[in-house]
Structure 1
Amino acid sequence: MSTPHFILTIRCQDAVGIVAAVASALAAADAFITESSHYGDEETGLFFMRTVFRPTGAHFQSRDDFLTALAPVRQRFGMDLNLHRRDRRMKVLIAVSKPGHCLNHLLHQWQSGELPIDVVGVLSNHRDHQRLTEWYGIPFHFLPMGADKPEQEAALFAVFEQTGAELLVLARYMQVLSDDLCQKLAGRAINIHHSFLPSFKGAKPYHQAHARGVKVVGATAHYVTKDLDEGPIIEQETERVAHNQSAQTLARIGKDIESVVLTRAVRWHAEHRVMLNGLRTVVFY
């Protein structure tokens, strides 16, 4: 069996000596660092770090061993410190409505081993993608929208907890989550939408954009907050379009970008590369 690798993430107030202290603590625990990135935000005074390492000695092997070794450094700098095994796949629940392009791309990437996640379920307010979901051998949860939205959201959150999900991916889930649910899922829910906002809201945004003669289309993946489509941005992409392309062509290009951008955001979150920095994110590519 190959030696397990660990991913260490740190967030704290910036100070002199953090990198040296972490490196020294890992060296004392016979850890071999294979990758390390850090960033100090001069505006917020916060420090962020992501380090990948593997054990080389006999005394420090498990996650608990290294947490013990890092405890003095953690206490000294008041760190928000997390340690994950790199080979552990994050449990992900996907929510979708009728548009299925993002769901298709996520499931294909998952099945082909390109995404370091375990899809524990797909839930929807429509049955359009039940056959596809079950073809992949994934549980499908049908949660139709009725008169009682709080009841439907309670059922959604119950599925999230019962499946052991660590991340909710809104893969074109065309429902606005309540403030209460957004709070419960803070930092654990990712959404995707076109990048025209705040312009071209509502139905057929690409047709609206075509009517206005836009020169680029794109997509934004972000964490879900109570402020609709305004959460901390994880990833964005754009593509230039021409005057002779139809609204249908713009929509097709936009859907392709949405699928890729959402998958990138899910991958980076699952690899613990994304750290919240107020209304922004730090992403260690």
Structure 2
Amino acid sequence: MVGPTAILLVCCPDQRGLVAKIAHFIYSHNGNIIHADHHTDGVADLFLTRIEWEVAGFALGRSHIAEAFETYAQEQGLFPRPEEVRWHLDFSDRVSRLAIWVSRQDHCLLDLIWRQRAGELRADIPLIISNHDQNRAIAEQFKIDFHTIPVNPDHRVEAEAQQLKLLQTYNIDLVILAKYMQILSPDFLGQFSQIINIHHSFLPAFAGANPYQRAYVRGVKIIGATAHYVTQNLDQGPIIEQDVVRVSHRDDVTDLVRKGKDLERMVLARAVRLHLHNRVLVYGNRTVVFA
């Protein structure tokens, strides 16, 4: 069984020899690569890769790998335009800390908690934040701290200040909007940007509020759910995961909501798991998902 691994994600301008040079860095320090995925975006002229190797036997300690790779990249001219390069190093046994934000609905909240407790999600969930109090009993049942912070236009700044303070206090790595149903301000996103949202439509169709009702009026034959990173543009952030289910003329809005909730749970869980396993690379407003 493979033990802990190091995971390197790179997004950079494309050039010949990138795969060989990155692999040589790992090989030269006695690394054993177990997964390597690459993609070239010919339109954007970008190279994107995810390389994973065993920590056991690697000649560099974890705290020295990033610095050594940076030095190697400079010496080898690996990235001729360093200002256009983004790379990230992580380790498979690092446990992320999640904050789940909800409003009144509980289906995504419960699903994430169950999956985390079952070991499907490599994370801790120390914090739930809500603008309503309905889901406090769930938090108490699972012994998760629950904070109710009402949100209205007149006190949004104060509410977001409380939310940011809690994220800092609990050392949160990722926020999951599990049907939170509130818009975050640009100021908030400028201070904390690692946020995944679940939207109850197959984006870009039916962005914004009441997508099931609008889908019913339009007479669609499929409905969907979309998990995406949150940006300042409502429901337009980089998409991580999507799925659809068929509906018919016999389905009313209640049926669409029921079927949609099943999709929302699955799509959000898959997106969170992909993020936690460092399988998502964002570039521009697009993603490459090394599933």
For Structure 1 versus Structure 2, the TM-score category normalised by the shorter chain is over 0.9
Structure 2: runs of 5 or more not aligned:
none
Rounded to whole Å, the distance in 2 between the matches of 1:25 and 1:57 is 14
The alpha-carbon distance between structure 1 residues 193 and 139, as it changes in their structure 2 partners (threshold 3 A), is same
- The answer to whether the 8 Å contact 1:7/1:83 transfers is yes
The alpha-carbon distance between structure 1 residues 58 and 148, as it changes in their structure 2 partners (threshold 3 A), is closer
What whole-Å deviation, never above 9, does each CA across 1:170-205 have from its counterpart, x for those lacking one?
11111111111122233x0111112255537534x3
Which residue matches 2:36? 36
Question: Which residues of 2 match residues 115-154 of structure 1 at below 5 A?
Answer: 115-146=121-152, 147-154=154-161
- The answer to whether the 8 Å contact 2:2/2:54 transfers is no
Which residue matches 1:107? 113
Which residue matches 1:202? 209
Rounded to whole Å, the distance in 2 between the matches of 1:105 and 1:83 is 29
What whole-Å deviation, never above 9, does each CA across 1:27-65 have from its counterpart, x for those lacking one?
1111111101011211112221111101453743x2124
Which residue matches 1:230? 236
Q: In the alignment, is residue 165 of structure 1 matched against residue 164 of structure 2?
A: no
Q: Where does structure 1 differ by over 6 angstroms across 4 or more consecutive aligned residues? A: none
The alpha-carbon distance between structure 1 residues 211 and 51, as it changes in their structure 2 partners (threshold 3 A), is same
Which residue matches 1:272? 278
- The answer to whether the 8 Å contact 1:274/1:283 transfers is yes
Greater mean alpha carbon deviation, residues 206-215 or residues 112-121: 206-215
Rounded to whole Å, the distance in 2 between the matches of 1:56 and 1:129 is 43
Rounded to whole Å, the distance in 2 between the matches of 1:226 and 1:236 is 20
Rounded to whole Å, the distance in 1 between the matches of 2:56 and 2:235 is 45
Which residue matches 2:62? 63
Rounded to whole Å, the distance in 2 between the matches of 1:7 and 1:252 is 38
* Percentage identity across paired residues of the two chains: 39
Aligned length: 282
- The answer to whether the 8 Å contact 2:208/2:235 transfers is no
Q: If the length of structure 2 is used for normalisation, what is the TM-score?
A: 0.91
* CA RMSD between the two structures: 1.9
Instruction: Provide the secondary structure at the position in 1 that maps to 2:32.
Output: strand
User: What amino acid does structure 2 have at the position aligned with 1:167?
Assistant: L
Which residue matches 1:258? 264
Determine which of 52, 77, 87 is the counterpart of 1:81: 87
The alpha-carbon distance between structure 1 residues 216 and 3, as it changes in their structure 2 partners (threshold 3 A), is closer
Rounded to whole Å, the distance in 2 between the matches of 1:106 and 1:55 is 29
What whole-Å deviation, never above 9, does each CA across 1:109-162 have from its counterpart, x for those lacking one?
111110112112100011111110121111111111243110001111111111
Instruction: Provide the secondary structure at the position in 2 that maps to 1:31.
Output: coil
Q: In the alignment, is residue 9 of structure 1 matched against residue 9 of structure 2?
A: yes
Rounded to whole Å, the distance in 2 between the matches of 1:108 and 1:56 is 32
